[in-house]
Amino acid sequence: MILADKIIDLRKKNGWSQEELAEKLDVSRQAVSKWESAQSVPDMSRIVMMSELFGVSTDYLLKDSYESETPAAAEDGYSDIPVRTVGMEEANGFLEVRDLNSRRIALGVMLCILSPVVLILLCGASDYGVLKITEAQGVGIGLVCLFILIGSAVALFVTSGLRGARYEYLEHEIVDTLYGVDGMVRERREKYRPTYVCQLTIGIVLCVASAVPIFISLILAGDDSFLNIAAVGMLLVMVAVGVLLIVRTSIVWDGFRMLLSEGDYSRQGKEAAREHGAFGGIYWGLVTAGYLAWSFITMDWSRSWIVWPIAGCAYGAIFAIMKALRKN
């Protein structure tokens, strides 16, 4: 194993990006990139700094005959995670599947958010006499539309899961990319970055601005008008479109991070995900059950959606506390 490969291996085992390693060594990211692609060699002072930083000897870094040495990161409780090697063909195949699945999953999430819109509008139209239908007819038609949309979303989720099943190891196991893969992924990520920033920004703006129709309806028609019901429908439509953009672009972006072993997909991040994965499944299962129970019992779909932003904020806070406790 040459020096370039050892730097890549040790950096990923510590869960650092090239930028983070560059900052620790007081060099530019381009310098680290050239070291890892064997275009240049670090000077002796940087070799010594890396030796101390990674917890390995300078002989291990400089001599090709030294093929293995246990770095400090392996002593922190992460050595039990499997390590998988990813080649160029595997990486390209994963990114293609990730892009296709991002569209399907984002569309499925949007359908789930839109599913109660018809029910809300028909029930409101019946109450205010906008349409000549009974409340029972409105509920019946609305529920049919709701279940069709949710069923379609489930089908999208299932097919996406089956298509991406062969790449699940990238999310849970430590990844060691072969020569050239790291550079290819970084290049594709930089090309996608403007799209990521644009879609993420528009999605967040739509979600934040989704309450505007409610305020407008209150100003124009007061608090007792079909216009308020229509505003709730518009709110859900705006949230649905915003979430579609956020989910779509985030899935693609996370695909790059998985291959580069950055952030939540570093060695430490994957270990934490293994510990808290069961908690997340139970938590969101209970939230979903509570949302559906409240909505069907009260039939107050215009207010029950508030469960999701509250649950999301609570989950983030709980997960952050658990992460802090784990570090301590």
Residue 304: closest CA among 213, 207, 232, 208? 232
| In the chain, ranges of CATH 1.10.260.40 domains | 3-78
| Alpha-carbon distance values, 108 to 68, 113, 149, 182, 319 (Å) | 46, 9, 9, 31, 25
Question: Is 236 a residue whose pLDDT tops 70?
Answer: yes
Question: Is 125 a residue whose pLDDT tops 90?
Answer: no
DSSP state of 237: H
According to the model, what pLDDT value does residue 168 have? Answer: 84
According to the model, what pLDDT value does residue 179 have? Answer: 67
According to the model, what pLDDT value does residue 270 have? Answer: 61
Determine the topology of domain 3-78 in CATH.
Answer: 434 Repressor (Amino-terminal Domain) (1.10.260)
Q: Output the average pLDDT for the chain.
A: 81
The residue that leads in pLDDT, 319 or 245, is: 245
5-61 pLDDT, tens digit per residue, is 888 888 887 778 888 888 888 888 888 888 888 788 888 888 888 888 888 888 778
According to the model, what pLDDT value does residue 328 have? Answer: 58
163-172 pLDDT, tens digit per residue, is 888 888 887 7
Q: State mean pLDDT over 252-277.
A: 73
Burial 142-176 (b: 16+ CB within 10 A, else e): bbebbeebbeebeebbeebeeebeebeebbbebbb
Question: Is 268 a residue whose pLDDT tops 90?
Answer: no
The residue that leads in pLDDT, 70 or 132, is: 132
